[in-house]
Structure 1
Amino acid sequence: MRNCIAEVLASVVGDRWALLIVRDTALGLRRFDQLQASTGAPRQVLSDRLHRLTEAGLLATRPYRRPGQRSRHEYVLTEAGIDLLPVLSALSDWGERHLAEGALPEIVYRHSSCGGRVTATLQCECGERIDPHGRLIAEVRS
């Protein structure tokens, strides 16, 4: 299947650095040095991924200036970037269940109002939650 959505998605966020940048930007880290310290990405790699995520419309830049320094840019999630957060939550859930038995997740997504844990679920547009082991049908479009 050429040009399927999974292929396009993988080309944009299909590497370690891109997902970490989206996650950390969602957590409030917006400046280059903050993102580099948090992700551990080499400067050139981080610069490339920030450019790629901005070009793809997941991040936007806005200028800021510290007193006595030149103007710089910080990064914020766009609506498209925010829409990736359930994907990150789902990946975190999956990793906790299948990759690191007994290990605690590095980040737990919580509801700011009640503090409850946020998890990703499959839900039909009718509102019914779907059991992926039972009543899920995948349709291949051509």
Structure 2
Amino acid sequence: MGAAKWAKSQGAAIIFVTGRPSVMNIYTQINLTSVGYPVDGLYGGGLTTGSSGAGALADYKTATRASIEAQGYTIVANNGNRASDLSGGHALQTFKLPDCNGAPGRTRRASGTAASWPSSCSRWSPTAGVSLSVAAGGSPTTTG
């Protein structure tokens, strides 16, 4: 969050892209702003985007970043916890975050054996399932 706040203070737009249905955008925005994230744009998917598989989700997020660029933005940084958040280009730099799968602090099963969450997943993150793009220029739009 510190990087997002710093980028915002330098004039960047903070834009979030999620595969969550756009009808949930208000709840996603409340989650983000309640912990201090600036939100200049929030793009939610269709009702089945998140459940259509990783390939469809990656395609949706890539197309959304292209749409953001078409508004005159340059996406200088894009981060997320899943490959679908980062694949497809349309960002000068990408950053892969630990994938906490929305439930840090619990034990998960990997190939039938218990595995612990990464230490960076010590608390729930309101950005789970949401990728963050830091962009310069353009005019933000919240879509759904």
How does the TM-score come out when normalised to structure 2?
Answer: 0.26
Q: Answer 1 or 2: which has greater strand percent.
A: 2
**What's the TM-score once normalised by structure 1's chain length?**
0.26
Structure number with the bigger relative contact order (C-alpha 8 A, sep ≥ 6) is 2
